[in-house]
Chain A
């Protein structure tokens, strides 16, 4: 059942979530981008802001309206709230000849995510497959993921680097949320349609002021969805992915390796990249040591460092590993795509490498796809 929120409805939702003792995380404007942070009320949300994203480029822009969700992928993803950049795994202390090992309990802060886009819902599902595997459950992730309350938001204005409709992950949330919002804004009327996706979502929705959506409201929502699909900035064809995987000697691999900085920004911003390294440290006294898990990336040399050197020493082999893992071997490993089409890796690549463009080029045997901006 779809409801239309009253004027203060969104703020009431935030308040209700906070009253449940949850830290509410949502999109905010900071340092010239829309990113995620803890919010206290709906007033912290990026009302009146949108952005222009393109390969290697991001520019915040005012909408001139009071729309709250008129943007696409925020610069950060949700993964850091579930799988923090650094996690202490164990601390060991030596007293005379006895070594005491302390394993901190994983933190389980009650959280709510507000404004989760459909691609990012799919990304949470991907992370769940990785970290909540019954045979190898990750305690940190499991504790934090716990009962996160999820307020999803349908995308009305996909960005120029978005391609969720190609990946069948959006732009309208289908499952995996407690509440899902769609913002409708046309001239005079500005409404937030809300739908519950769980019992506790329905219970919370019953607490806030709303009315039942009319047939017209539902029809407007459908139009908004169709416009979003039509406005998708990028496209990735699944048959191209299959073909791109076939030829390890394709000259495009050399071409992209020449441009790639191996800087790892793509993997850091990706909502599904989950690799980590384990760092052991000892202190000066030689009596205390710690083991940390830190985000790592397949773009570093250390990532495949074995005795005698790195297995993937060329940037070519590292880019190829990244792209084919995301799009192809992830399916074998986790029964899902590692890419959900959020476009972050395209926007935040300093040299604007665009995986959709690379795949399209790799799928052609004649190499006739010119690069955007490349000299003819």
Chain B
């Protein structure tokens, strides 16, 4: 593509909190450069002015939770040359995928006065369950630098440098003290996908697994080690089942004490 023909960018939202697309607006210093290289054609959080598709790059935030979503994502895919899902909702189903383990009808009765007004699916699922995805960017929320890396790589026609190994590698590269070994703090870093720069261990907290499972994550051995440090089943269940609960192998990771109405295991 020639330099004066800018590729167009669209940003889409499904079931999500908006935090990931906000990350794009958060790129304060780089935002102008982004706008210089890409036409912000469809980005409702930034502007209600909309340019019709198709689009060269689509960033898709959020998970599929309604019958309407199921159809809309097909249309988004049709309109998009290069489709990138951003964040735990879009890549894993998000925190709302906890419904997948329970009974949605019952949850609706508990939460809403008139559940019959709702039209929702039994599950919250990642975008890749519904359409082919060109690149998945992890995180809850995504990391600003990683987003810029994906955009820069797209513009240069190269593969993005996004590691899929453990958080521990980032942690050690920052010369953090390992909170798991030295402080006995529960940390999911060894089984969690890098990308945050080991944010929590840097502040002496254990990793919560925001970026989902790392490549070849060995959750069984991780759970054994956490149990040996005294973690109970319920706490373990909670640790593994947060923003990326529906992502294997977190999904089938150990073993709730109290398994009623759980499916998908």
Residues of A within 8 A of B155 (CB): 282, 284, 286
Who on chain A is nearest to B187 by CB?
A: A350
For window 53-71 of A, CB contacts with B under 8 Å fall at 56-60
> In the complex the two chains form, what is the Cα distance from A77 to B86 in whole Å?
37
The answer on a CB contact under 8 Å between B221 and A259 is yes
Residues of A within 8 A of B216 (CB): 262, 301, 313, 315
Partner of B165, one of A60, A75, A284, A302: A302
> In the complex the two chains form, what is the Cα distance from A286 to B37 in whole Å?
9
A111 to chain B, nearest CB (A): 16
B100 to chain A, nearest CB (A): 26
The answer on a CB contact under 8 Å between B181 and A58 is yes
The answer on a CB contact under 8 Å between A263 and B166 is yes
> In the complex the two chains form, what is the Cα distance from A269 to B217 in whole Å?
20
The verdict on B224 contacting chain A, using a C-beta distance below 8 Å, is yes
The verdict on A239 contacting chain B, using a C-beta distance below 8 Å, is no
The answer on a CB contact under 8 Å between A350 and B163 is no
Residues of A within 8 A of B166 (CB): 261-264
Given contacts A31-B182, A57-B181, A286-B156, contact A264 B175 (CB under 8 A): no
Residues of B within 8 A of A95 (CB): none
Given contacts A85-B173, A315-B216, contact A285 B33 (CB under 8 A): yes
The answer on a CB contact under 8 Å between B173 and A75 is no
**Contact stretch, chosen from B10-18, B59-67, B116-124, B144-152:** B144-152
The verdict on A265 contacting chain B, using a C-beta distance below 8 Å, is yes
> In the complex the two chains form, what is the Cα distance from A269 to B173 in whole Å?
10
For window 148-164 of B, CB contacts with A under 8 Å fall at 148-149, 151-153, 155-156, 158, 161, 163-164
**Contact stretch, chosen from A180-188, A292-300, A359-367:** A292-300
The answer on a CB contact under 8 Å between A86 and B173 is yes
The verdict on A279 contacting chain B, using a C-beta distance below 8 Å, is yes
> In the complex the two chains form, what is the Cα distance from A300 to B163 in whole Å?
9
The answer on a CB contact under 8 Å between A31 and B204 is yes
The verdict on A105 contacting chain B, using a C-beta distance below 8 Å, is no
Partner of A300, one of B149, B169, B172, B220: B169
Who on chain B is nearest to A37 by CB?
A: B175
Binding site for A on B (CB under 8 A): 30, 33-34, 36-37, 148-149, 151-153, 155-156, 158, 161, 163-166, 168-169, 172-178, 180-183, 187, 189-191, 204, 214-218, 220-222, 224-225, 228
List 6 tightest A-B contacts by C-beta distance, closest first.
Answer: A268-B172, A263-B190, A31-B177, A284-B33, A300-B165, A261-B190
